[in-house]
Amino acid sequence: MSLLVTGSIGIDSVTSPFGKAENVLGGSAVYFAFAAAQYVPVRLVGAVGDDFPPRFRGMLESRNIDLSGLEVRSGSKTFRWTGRYEGALAEAETVEVHLNVLSERAPVVPEKFADSRFVFLANTHPTLQRELLAQITSPRLSVCDTMNLWIEIERDSLVETLTRVTGVILNDGEARQLTGRTNLIEAAEFVLDLGPKFVMVKKGEHGALLVSADGPAAIPAYPSKLVRDPTGAGDSFAGGVLGYLASQDELNGPALKRAMVHGTVAASFAIEDFSLGRVQKLPREEIDDRVDEMVRMLRFD
């Protein structure tokens, strides 16, 4: 089933108590694509500058990712982010960010991608998210992510985007900031009232919450022993969720719950190494084994 993602494609430099990685492949669309490609072919739409290293393109091409929608813009520079984690690694401190190509026009969806049935609008400007979604003919499922910056400076535009998607994935801090509700179930219900059919709230090491017409459901995070770099965990979660859903016939409540398990497992691998070090050559068998382990942990009989 066709799954399209758009969002940032970047060059990251990250420091945590476990080391440092400089000038590595990153970006919301990249982490999503690597996780989702374990389930279905992924169509990536994004833009980079002419400084984008050929080896990074090779990393993307090594997976089940169609790069027909990747624009390499002459004279532009690739998005760059420098971040630091300390203590419990709960949240990144942005040391430096250069939007570069992300401050330019939105990438164009190739005509052959217009029939995509599943669409994930990874974190980027909400106006750009809508522009891309408008280029898709009749998606079966469209889901978006966001970040605190857009809530702060582009709230009205973000709300407009939320009215046009099937589902929303955001973290607990963003849910509270967007809605003004402290209780996450109330916050998710507030977002549902805007139009989406379901909301998934990421809670980091505390798991994830699903709220839909069927009511709330929650799962814990996978109990990881090794956490080196949380960058991309949320986007990997979304990749596991959408990748799994795109591989299924049904899009009902039980499927959404199972998808959260796959998303949680995808995130658990992403945090085990810097950048894509852990997931770049991750075999599907390891994912399935960890999913089975999660399911056993969630059973009470």
Per-residue DSSP letter, 101? G
129-168 per-position pLDDT tens digit: 999 999 999 999 999 998 887 888 889 999 999 999 999 9
Please give the pLDDT value at position 58. Answer: 95
CA-based Rg of the chain, rounded to a whole angstrom?
A: 18
Strands (E), 167-279: 167-171, 198-202, 208-212, 215-219
Place of tokens 């969720």: 241
Is the entire prediction scored with pTM above 0.85?
A: yes
| Domains of the chain from N-terminus onward | 3-298 (3.40.1190.20)
- How far is residue 183 CA from its own chain's centroid? 23
pLDDT score, position 147: 84
- Residue 238's contacts (CB-CB under 8 Å, 6 or more residues apart) are 32, 35, 120, 122, 143, 145, 169, 263
With a pLDDT cut of 90, the percent of the chain lying above it is 85
pLDDT digits (tens, 9 = 90+) for 174-204: 999 999 999 999 999 999 999 999 999 999 8
Paired strand residues for 24: 12
Average pLDDT over residues 102-118: 93
pLDDT digits (tens, 9 = 90+) for 233-258: 999 999 999 999 999 999 999 999 99
State how far the Cα of 8 lies from the Cα of 25, in Å rounded to an integer: 11
**CA dist., res. 174 & res. 77, Å (int):** 29
Task: For residues 76-93, give the mean pLDDT.
Answer: 88
